[in-house]
Chain A
Amino acid sequence: MSWESWSDFFAMGGYGFYVWGSYLVALLCVLGEVVLVRNRRRTLHKQLGLKDKSSL
């Protein structure tokens, strides 16, 4: 383990801005895609008169 403390962990040896800047955007991209897919599915199921839980 490379970390002495949580602040040490978040500092990432001085590269925290770049490391977390990458991970944050990755998280946002993945969450964004999941939200888009689920919204599209909800709209479609509503249009077709399917109940949302009918299928994953």
Chain B
Amino acid sequence: MTINWFKYASPASFYFLAGRMIPFFIIAAVILLIIGLYIGFFVAPTDFQQGEAYRIIFIHVPAAWMSMFLYVVMAFWAGIGLAFNTRLSSMVASAIAPTGAMFTFLALWTGAWWGKPMWGTWWVWDARLTSELILFFLYIGFMSLQAAIDDPRRADKAGAIIALVGVVNIPIIYFSVQWWNTLHQGASVSLVQSPKMATAMLTGMLIMALAAWMYSIVMVLMRTRMIILERERHTAWVSELKEGVSK
């Protein structure tokens, strides 16, 4: 029994720790979102080139950042799980994928709705857009593969391989605007010339990125807790949880 307990100690203690942390991240996400939107719509001035259309930036850039960042974090934990056979890290990786896919979709969607008024087209098959679309397919592939394999540990391993191979795509997305001649503009901040504008726009963007970060943490923690419960439903501590609740 003691050995069993130690074996499961990590996911079980994470379950309770995450449960205590979630409310704080929810509060942080909501506060940052309100401040970020306020700055984005009421403090940040009109762009001298793009007018008001640029305000899509406050979702587009944080979503694009999160799509790439979450993928790296997902691949990292999947890789740790593969290398060291630590179950919790694989569970975290699986928990990240849907949120990452959601942000990738948002980056693509808002990009299209920004591209239409600015470039005159919803979509072009250029390097930045195509590599971001591939990122979306990588997330979908990771999730479908894991969903198709019944044994969770085998699903973890298969997912880890696809996640790790796909990491190659991240520098391609990031540097695509430098490596290839694309429609997509370079660094978002450089199109602003007056320093005052840069400050308000950049602040709004960074705060929205922080809000997206907090939101992702909430989603990942909640999902990890569910995966823990699903996989450990026959363990002693989950039974204790049931008894404790029914009292």
What is A's interface to B at a CB cutoff of 8 Å?
A: 1-3, 9, 12-15, 18-19, 21-23, 25-26, 29-30, 33-34, 36-37, 40-41, 44, 47-51, 54-56
In the assembled complex, how far is the CB of residue A4 from the closest CB belonging to chain B, in whole angstroms? 12
Scoring B residues 203 to 247 as 1 if CB is less than 8 Å from chain A, else 0, what string do you get? 000000000000100010011011001100100001001101110
| In the complex, B149 has a CB within 8 A of chain A | no
| In the complex, B128 has a CB within 8 A of chain A | no
Query: Contact between B55 and A29 (Cβ–Cβ < 8 Å)?
Result: no
Known: A15-B117, A33-B99. A26 touches B110 (CB 8 A): yes
Query: Contact between A22 and B98 (Cβ–Cβ < 8 Å)?
Result: no
Q: How many B residues, CB 8 Å from partner? A: 43
If over half of B's interface residues share one DSSP class (helix, strand or loop), that class is named, otherwise mixed; here it is helix
Stretch at the interface among B46-54, B70-78, B84-92, B132-140: B46-54
The distance in angstroms between the C-alpha atoms of A48 and B137, with both chains bound, is 33
Known: A22-B109, A48-B233. A41 touches B56 (CB 8 A): no
In the assembled complex, how far is the CB of residue A28 from the closest CB belonging to chain B, in whole angstroms? 10
Query: Contact between A14 and B110 (Cβ–Cβ < 8 Å)?
Result: no
